[in-house]
Amino acid sequence: MDEGDTTRVHRGDGPDGRPDVSFVIPAKNEADYLRGALASIAGLDTEYAIEVIVVDGDSSDATPAIAREYGATVLEEGGRSIAAARNLGAARADGEWLAFVDADTELRADYLTELLGYLEANGLAAGSSYCRITGPRRATLMAATINRVFSRLERPILPGFNCVVHRQAFDDVGGFPEVPNEDTAFSRLLGRRYPTGYCPAVLVESSGRRIADCGLTGTLWHYLRLDVGRLRADY
């Protein structure tokens, strides 16, 4: 989809007057990536009624304007944290299911059909799917860690860039905790109370820009430091 095509992402309401799925996208200065994410949502091959909420973290670029071009609801959060942005979006969402994706993540056309079908068929309250990380070759190692390690844990880690959760389960655990590695902490909370899992199909592509900027070692070190902070906060 070229930049002149502003296909709108809002698909209307479900039979009860509400969307089935609410996409929540935290974004701060993401003008270079957001079009791709929104275009991929607009291109979903699905019968589910959806809405899209972009939570702007005090951007100084065209992020809010691009979100509005695609018909997304734009909320102003102020840039406090990604957990705060996701929780604000969820609080304003009307869908039975909440789909959390990042501004540099693009969904394949069968994303909702495959992932929600997998969750419902297996009685899961939340889940993710296998992913592809674009960019340098070493990004494939990060994707392999998510696909082959995170997915096989007793309480799978659901990455914040690709996570679908039932509204009731999200509310029951209180949303994303305000701690480092908030998606890991959120996954742990969910896993203690609800069944979660991974759809074994590659349904998203996400940017390997951090790996390109910091290298694989620097990226792993970044997330290790965040996880130490999460564990300290839990303690």
Closest CA to 127 of 159, 104, 101: 159
66, 47 Cβ separation under 8 angstroms: no
> Does pTM top 0.95 for this prediction?
no
The structure tokens listed for 117 are: 């079908």
Number of neighbouring beta carbons within 10 Å of residue 131: 21
Q: What is the mean pLDDT of residues 88-115?
A: 98
Q: How far is CA 17 from CA 13, 95, 116, in A?
A: 5, 10, 20
Q: What is the pLDDT of residue 150?
A: 92
163, 100 Cβ separation under 8 angstroms: yes
Q: What is the pLDDT of residue 35?
A: 98
Residue 198 to residue 124: CA distance in whole angstroms = 10
Tens of pLDDT, residue by residue over 140-176, are 888 998 999 999 999 999 999 999 999 999 999 999 9
- Alpha carbon 212 to chain centroid, angstroms: 21
- Is residue 80 within a helix (H) or strand (E), and if so which, with residue range? none
